[in-house]
Structure 1
């Protein structure tokens, strides 16, 4: 914005400030506004069109026929005014009639005017009207004048919104935003049904005040926000998860370039000089960026402009003080959370009583946020594109993750049908609940152990509710994820003791802390992880614990003290080679010796195990087997490592099937290798909680499953109907000569025997 534009805009805003503060009714204010703008820009015509009942209506004018006010109306996309509203872009024409979209309205008396300039009046990224000026003589308006109009349009947005001159439904219907019922499809990440109002994880910033009272104070607010944002960017750049080299470094380099760009800061300060508040100035520059983005064909350059958009949002949050997510502000109603993606710690911040479901624009089946959501019993739908353009804050949503759909703004009939499904689902759950005290024994007399996965104190109630055989995987990292600082040893001890007491005589298998990958801890710097481009296969799990032995020592002592006079089952995650197990066990041995030297009570027995997630360990089973009492197979990580498929990559979310012969052959080989040895083999991934996949697992010899609590009933029901010997015989044949579709062959086998699968 040039000096002339600043002065012109300031002059107009100074006069408009008095207009807005007056007690006149809205129409009188608009009539005064067009006079002020016309005088300040020495323009013969100034007109304001507003969106009403789906049409752009002439609301006020200086220079056109007054009889046309509230009479002249045009559709979005019709004429020059309609084109500006549709494209949300300015027009500056020396000869209006030469434009292909020109539309003549005789009742306005505009035939004598040649030049035309118009800008959109924007609210929440959507056009709600148009401000335009005209002259008799053909000439292009100076950039100074157009920029002044764009600044004034922001003030008009506030005025017409406060005066209720526009219809919210009309605003949302513009530019393709739906207002009626709509069904969106995605990828089922956690099954279930839920209804609630839409709540965005990152709420939209609403600018309350546009005109500044104190320009210098606004400038200081922006300076402080820039300082804070630059500190944040520098901190991001120093974190290991962003790596060195490759795409992450390029993204951060672009962020830093924009964050320190003098042109960007100058434009914001110029907008403040013209009389705007800090928030309005950032939004004013952001609008200009959006208009430029629509004109960019180069995808690389467009991506860079998106980076600037993201930084603008970050700066806007900082200057407005609205830094929190929807979790920090609290959920007031039953809610369906909407986000591009979420980390597990972010999800755990939400009130579990109010959070009914989650919809992600990205997301993959085995990401840790999905594991947490499954533990919380919250249905999740992922890979739903374009949510922001189709769902508003507060819209009623019916989430059917079973069918991978969400219905937005449902009609009454749809709501009634959904409630019917809800009722039937509860009936089905009641059937499963009736199996609580039923021992899972197959039709041919084989005892299958069905346990649950847990990680939160609230999960413990599920032991008695489901009648599970124990906790086959207690994820100790959940306590670390929900803490602002590293949990003290005493806190860890209390949690582990509570878990053991709640379990009673049932076993609990504690997995030592598994952090890293998509489970980063802000309070644990990862200096030694610099250079990682795929954190899932990098500095995480046992690798972190052995590197930071103080972390593992504190946890080892907490577990040993909590399990005093009991049996402690402890396993180490992501073991790749036997020496890693030896090193981890040595930490426990050292803490055990320390407690004994202090005459402290210790466990009566300690059983050690490993997580089989890294395929390399399967090639050394003969070396690890004499050292362990149990092995848990983590099918989530194992799948991504077997297929070299990053489980956090949405493009690969459905690409590799758990019922692939490669996975099933791998699992059967592990079972056969350890056959006859006193080692309990458990599958504790999501794979075991699905009936068809569980059928396949029992077919390769797995007799212990640790699954989400919601899956216990369905799996018990399956076991009671199953002839394990028969499915093992069938699986032997299929894996020797795999059919074209093993999943379908399994389903057909079950159907032929009257086994109904979900």
Structure 2
């Protein structure tokens, strides 16, 4: 907030304080409010719309026709005013009629006014009205004026709520229908099953007073609250919860960085300078953060903003004295935690013995809380909307994060079915755990290599838990995604060395950084890559690394130094042409030559490989095969490229089958194109972790699978039951003359041999 904005807001708040202190009725106060704002901002029109009976009604105006007051009404989402309320966002337009949502209301007499600016009046995170100004001349309002309007909107929220002028925002009201069972749907963030009672993470902090009486006293309250909050964060970040050096520690370091951010502190103090109380100032800055979050498409930046909001909630609770969170009060029984969003530090406050699962209204796969939850082994379901209208505190919840659902207030039969499934899941896990030390050998004696995919230091423990043969895909980009800045080479070296140490004599295939596309980094920008219509096929993976060669050089040196005296397996993602592999390998060769001059201990051997995700590479494998030691087929990307179908589009997700003859024939051709070369071919991705699909891959000739740790037991079991010579013969026949339904045909083949594939 600029000094001009502070002065403008203070001037308006001073006059508004007099208006609110008067003995006038609520309507008269609103009439005075629009006059004050119009005069202070030198605006010809100032209007207040309030939410009544579900409609936005013009309650007071200076400049528009007085006959329109209490007559002009519009729905949320209708017109410019309705758009502001619907999106809870600010509009600032030089020409109002040019906006696609403009709706002309002749009774207001607004046709002569061109410029328009409006801000939402927010109560408990919901827009309950709109404050707007208009001007004859076409112009955008200055930032000073917009910030002053936003501050005034907070004061209006208190005034109109106390005067009972708006629909009451009751976030805990339930209709009769909500007493029975209800199913919630969302996005799987961390897989798992859990049951427990619903516990809301955070009771709402009610701000009683908005306008400050003593600015200096409010500033001191904020300073003390900041000190207390930073002590809490420092204490949490220093706890060795999951061992030393994990990615979750980097997350908490980033979180702590926000707690000490001077810009955030300054904005809160400026809001206090404008005349707000400490609580209102924090809420004022928090509202701006929420508005910015709605405009951010970048998921990584949005996650950073979520962290900042988490801290703002913590600060607000401290300064208001309303410290009671579910964590501080303690969990009394097995609980499913419910929150709009959750910061990593807040999750760490909970008793891990009682916390069984988490459901978030927001959340994303790359959010910091998900990284910490995965390390804690807590299932998480995200993107579940409108929970507060469905779930009551204490309701029984059955969380099935595997299926991305949760059942609220389940009937007795549902509970029995869930418990049976839970018990069966535990039985299966116990059976699969018993296969940990059993080698995956087929009935006819073929040894299959079963490896796991990983991306965190903590994932390495799954090697011993599953008995996997190694790590067939270590996603190095995860370290980049959870870091606030580009990870330094020394930090990368430490991670790779720790992974190799933990893996022992089992191989680890490091995939060089695959960023870009939908995995954007706030600290790594590219002008041509912004706003890509199809990011999966855009500036990502090796394309980024070859252009930003400093990034690949640092990673190459880190991998070479970490693998000193050992075998280094490195593969390059998204290779479309052999020359791209040559260019990437040249970066490693140059770093290797440099390390030799420095008398560094070098890797005992280096095996280079590529990810086959781009179909074009399959046509040139005869040129590439002599140069590589292994080839890993990335079935997730490969499938969407072959079918020209975005795998993230729910309408297409189930349309194209991995067991389509097109996919299977393509994979068989890849295998034939490397025959005669000493190239180890494997499959990385979800396809290899599904029992029926794995059966098909074995029939094609795939002998190495890299899958999720949870899939290792089921895949080991099916390998031990299949005669590979039989499935190979059957697959040859089916691909020569494809059946109408390959999936059903393969399932019948398996059932006839008592091979469980479901």
Q: Same fold (TM over 0.5)?
A: yes
Give 1:209's aligned residue.
Answer: 208
* 2:86 matches 1:87: no
Map of 1:566-715 to 2, 5 A cutoff? 566-715=566-715
Task: Give the whole-Å Cα distance in 1 for the aligned partners of 2:565 and 2:284.
Answer: 66
DSSP 3-state at the match of 1:712? helix
Contact 1:682 1:704 (8 Å CA) reproduced: yes
Task: Give the whole-Å Cα distance in 1 for the aligned partners of 2:570 and 2:288.
Answer: 56
* 2:353 matches 1:330: no
User: CA shift at 1:403, angstroms?
Assistant: 4.7
Task: Give the whole-Å Cα distance in 2 for the aligned partners of 1:426 and 1:536.
Answer: 37
Give 1:254's aligned residue.
Answer: none
Give 1:26's aligned residue.
Answer: none
Give 1:376's aligned residue.
Answer: none
CA 1:177–1:154: 2 relative to 1, 3 Å: farther
Task: Give the whole-Å Cα distance in 2 for the aligned partners of 1:42 and 1:722.
Answer: 78
User: CA shift at 1:357, angstroms?
Assistant: 2.4
Give 1:448's aligned residue.
Answer: 448
Task: Give the whole-Å Cα distance in 1 for the aligned partners of 2:363 and 2:310.
Answer: 24
Give 2:88's aligned residue.
Answer: none
DSSP 3-state at the match of 1:619? helix
Task: Give the whole-Å Cα distance in 2 for the aligned partners of 1:553 and 1:488.
Answer: 12
DSSP 3-state at the match of 1:356? coil
DSSP 3-state at the match of 1:473? strand
* 2:20 matches 1:13: yes
Give 1:438's aligned residue.
Answer: 438
Contact 1:198 1:338 (8 Å CA) reproduced: no
Map of 1:79-478 to 2, 5 A cutoff? 87=54, 125=126, 154-155=158-159, 157=161, 171-173=171-173, 178=178, 180-185=180-185, 192-195=192-195, 206-214=205-213, 277=280, 321-322=312-313, 326-331=342-347, 332-333=349-350, 334=355, 335-340=357-362, 342-352=364-374, 356-361=378-383, 389-391=389-391, 397-410=397-410, 414=414, 418-478=418-478
Q: Per-residue CA shift, 1:414-468, capped at 9, x if unaligned? A: 5565344323311210100000111111112211110111121111111111111
User: CA shift at 1:183, angstroms?
Assistant: 1.4
Q: Per-residue CA shift, 1:62-111, capped at 9, x if unaligned? A: xxxxxxxxxxxxxxxxxxxxxx87636559899xxx9xxxxxxxxxxxxx
Task: Give the whole-Å Cα distance in 1 for the aligned partners of 2:498 and 2:203.
Answer: 41
Task: Give the whole-Å Cα distance in 1 for the aligned partners of 2:392 and 2:583.
Answer: 53
Contact 1:198 1:337 (8 Å CA) reproduced: no
User: CA shift at 1:358, angstroms?
Assistant: 2.9
CA 1:176–1:496: 2 relative to 1, 3 Å: farther
Give 1:63's aligned residue.
Answer: none
Q: Per-residue CA shift, 1:597-628, capped at 9, x if unaligned? A: 22221122111111001111001011101111
Task: Give the whole-Å Cα distance in 2 for the aligned partners of 1:199 and 1:581.
Answer: 52
DSSP 3-state at the match of 1:568? strand
The alignment covers a number of residue pairs equal to 568
Contact 1:477 1:514 (8 Å CA) reproduced: yes
TM-score with structure 1 setting the length = 0.63
- More deviation in 646-655 or 429-438? 646-655
Task: Give the whole-Å Cα distance in 1 for the aligned partners of 2:27 and 2:369.
Answer: 54
Task: Give the whole-Å Cα distance in 2 for the aligned partners of 1:122 and 1:569.
Answer: 56
User: CA shift at 1:327, angstroms?
Assistant: 1.7
Contact 1:485 1:523 (8 Å CA) reproduced: yes
User: CA shift at 1:174, angstroms?
Assistant: 5.0
DSSP 3-state at the match of 1:695? helix
User: CA shift at 1:666, angstroms?
Assistant: 1.0
User: CA shift at 1:560, angstroms?
Assistant: 1.5
User: CA shift at 1:653, angstroms?
Assistant: 3.0
Contact 1:532 1:538 (8 Å CA) reproduced: yes
Task: Give the whole-Å Cα distance in 1 for the aligned partners of 2:647 and 2:314.
Answer: 30
Task: Give the whole-Å Cα distance in 2 for the aligned partners of 1:88 and 1:477.
Answer: 48
Q: Per-residue CA shift, 1:690-749, capped at 9, x if unaligned? A: 111111211221111001111100000111111222222222232233333222222222
Task: Give the whole-Å Cα distance in 2 for the aligned partners of 1:346 and 1:281.
Answer: 25
Task: Give the whole-Å Cα distance in 2 for the aligned partners of 1:706 and 1:407.
Answer: 33
Q: Per-residue CA shift, 1:171-216, capped at 9, x if unaligned? A: 5335799455311346778753134677999x89755234412599
DSSP 3-state at the match of 1:696? helix
DSSP 3-state at the match of 1:632? strand
Task: Give the whole-Å Cα distance in 1 for the aligned partners of 2:123 and 2:21.
Answer: 21
DSSP 3-state at the match of 2:584? helix
Task: Give the whole-Å Cα distance in 1 for the aligned partners of 2:528 and 2:392.
Answer: 43
DSSP 3-state at the match of 1:344? coil
Map of 1:492-531 to 2, 5 A cutoff? 492-527=492-527, 529-530=529-530
- More deviation in 177-186 or 582-591? 177-186
User: CA shift at 1:491, angstroms?
Assistant: 2.0
- More deviation in 190-199 or 701-710? 190-199
Q: Per-residue CA shift, 1:118-169, capped at 9, x if unaligned? A: xx99756499xxxxxxxxxxxxxxxxxxxx9998774575799xxxxx999x
Contact 2:286 2:309 (8 Å CA) reproduced: no
CA 1:458–1:41: 2 relative to 1, 3 Å: closer
Task: Give the whole-Å Cα distance in 1 for the aligned partners of 2:213 and 2:709.
Answer: 58
The RMSD of aligned alpha carbons is 5.2
DSSP 3-state at the match of 2:697? helix
| Structure 2 unmatched runs, 5+ | 1-11, 32-50, 60-65, 72-120, 129-151, 220-270, 316-340
Contact 1:198 1:336 (8 Å CA) reproduced: no
Contact 2:612 2:634 (8 Å CA) reproduced: yes
CA 1:180–1:492: 2 relative to 1, 3 Å: same
Task: Give the whole-Å Cα distance in 2 for the aligned partners of 1:277 and 1:488.
Answer: 40
Contact 1:207 1:279 (8 Å CA) reproduced: no
Contact 2:567 2:605 (8 Å CA) reproduced: yes
